[in-house]
Amino acid sequence: MSNPILIVKNLTKTYGDNVVFHDIDITVNEGDTDVIIGPSGTGKSTLLRCINLLTKADSGQIWLDGEEITVPGYDEDFVRQHIGMVFQNFLLFNHLTALDNVKIGLSKVKKLDDDQAERKAFQELDRVGLADRAQHYPGQLSGGQQQRVAIARALAMDPRIMLFDEPTSALDPELIGEVLEVMRKLALEGMTMLVVTHEMGFAREVSDRIIFLEKGSIVEEGSPEELFYRPKFERTREFLWKITELYGKKESED
Amino acid sequence: MNVSRFIQYIASGTAYTVAVSLISLPLGLILGLIFSLLYVYGGKILERLMSIYSSVMRGIPPIVLLFILYFVVSGSINLSPFWAGSISLGIVSSAYQMEIVRGALLSVSGGQMVAARAIGMSKLQAIRYVIIPQAFRLAIPPWSNEAAIVIKDSSLVYALGVPEILRRAQLISASSRQPFLAFITAGLIYFLLVFLTNRLLDGLEKRVRLPAHP
């Protein structure tokens, strides 16, 4: 039996009268890469933010590594140390070099001493192939490089799971490949990942499960083969192939 | 009349002007920083309080506030006019510096806070290690402007009898009947102080500027 790292149960979020999503159930097993897809505005980003408690869900429960993190008074900062998050627009700390972006969590949150933090930060940069950019500031890096630094920053905290919120959507087409390559490598290394993306090539090739979210609820979920070739709902097929057509071309050109 | 002694007499007030500025500017900065953090991150009630503080302090001429604060400050503790004046000016400046820092804090993109919280930083850590260092860079140009104002406003303590530049210029203009020369000299010294301070801060701004695409 695989070991669930993340369990989400009946998660619901509303803004006023507007239901962002309701009664979402998701389980991500250790070492798995699960992909969430769906039209824009269906609450995918909000869902990720609710999972690492950046946004407060209205109701529902979340367990990380068997421990419920949605009980009142649970240490949210502690939770976020163990859930890595990568954002669409990178959000690197603008005043810090690539190395210091990765290092700051290690020295200020994990309280490693300077030598240890620096060594670990450098290793993580190397892991995303950017050891030679350690002393560059975000403003001196391409979007793809910035996103890879952001991934290294999250990895440095040794998270139990990594959340990716459309990590390639803000990138120029020619820079998408390098970021997907890093994510692919992570998946192969056994990192547990939950990825919101439109990159169907990545979803099909790397993911263990695809979750199709629309209008705030899960329409269908299953292995890539099931969803692409034997979907239960016509709507799933329609969406998947439309997205593949839209985003697939540039991938096959790579 | 000995011109060099004349000028020397006025210029010897520079030490007071510089000292008053060196007390009131940092005092205003410390208070302004604390107040701006309360304003931006302190919740509704503190936001309201700070906003009132800001409009009151900025809505009254500095000289009037100086007299009020002077009597408040020197009434509660026994202070020399020099210290009472410097502290009062610092309090006046704190409202302006609060607005400068507040503007800078708000100019740092909201995503920076989100990203800091996402790696497990507490709100305080995020403010200290991520928001303030970026706000500090944004605040230098307007702060340079405020520094110029405080240096010039330090002349107000002459009204409390502190023998700084303006006070000395006034005394010697009366005794020598050379008001033009006296005040030109005073003006020139103030100008040089402000000019040097602004250049220094321009230099600082360039030094901490973040590199962009090479």
- In chain A, % of residues over pLDDT 90: 87
Query: Quick one: which of A152, A95, A146 has its CA closest to A121?
Result: A152
Chain A residues closer than 8 Å to B129 by CB: 104, 108
Average pLDDT, chain A: 93
Closest CA to A33 of A195, A197, A157, A227: A195
Task: Give the ipTM of the model, two decimals please.
Answer: 0.92
Q: Nearest-CA distance from B105 to chain A in Å?
A: 14
Name residue A191's amino acid. M
How close B112 gets to chain A, by Cα (Å)? 6
pLDDT digits (tens, 9 = 90+) for B135-144: 999 999 999 9
Output the CA–CA distances (angstroms, integers) from residue B113 to A13, A62, A215, B59, B130, in the order listed.
22, 23, 29, 33, 7
Instruction: Give residue for tokens 């205003």.
Output: B28
Q: Estimate the crossing angle of helix B14-41 against helix B132-153, to 10 degrees.
A: 140
Q: Domain B3-208 carries which CATH code?
A: 1.10.3720.10
User: What average pLDDT score do residues A14-27 get?
Assistant: 93
Cβ-based neighbour number of residue A99 at 10 Å: 22
Which residues of chain A does B137 touch, with a Cβ-Cβ cutoff of 8 Å? 95
Interface contact flag, A95 B137, Cβ < 8 Å = yes
Q: Are the beta carbons of B117 and A157 separated by less than 8 Å? A: no
pLDDT per residue over A186-204, tens digit each? 999 999 999 999 999 999 9
Per the structure block, which two tokens stand in for A163?
A: 């959340």
What is the tens place of the pLDDT at every residue in A156-172?
A: 999 999 999 999 999 99
Mutate to test the interface with B, among A51, A76, A77 (most CBs of B within 10 A): A77
The set of residues, in sequence order, having a beta carbon less than 8 Å from that of B173 and lying 6+ positions away, is B179, B181, B182, B183
Model pLDDT, residue B211? 87
Picking from A143, A128, A130, A46, the residue whose alpha carbon sits closest to that of residue A91 is A143
Helices (H) and strands (E) in chain A, counts: 9, 10
Alpha carbon distance B121, B105 (integer Å): 18
pLDDT digits (tens, 9 = 90+) for A28-73: 999 999 999 999 888 899 999 999 999 999 999 999 999 999 999 9
Contact A214, A38 (CB under 8 A): yes
Kindly report whether the global pTM for this prediction surpasses the value 0.80. yes
What pLDDT score was predicted for residue B66?
A: 86
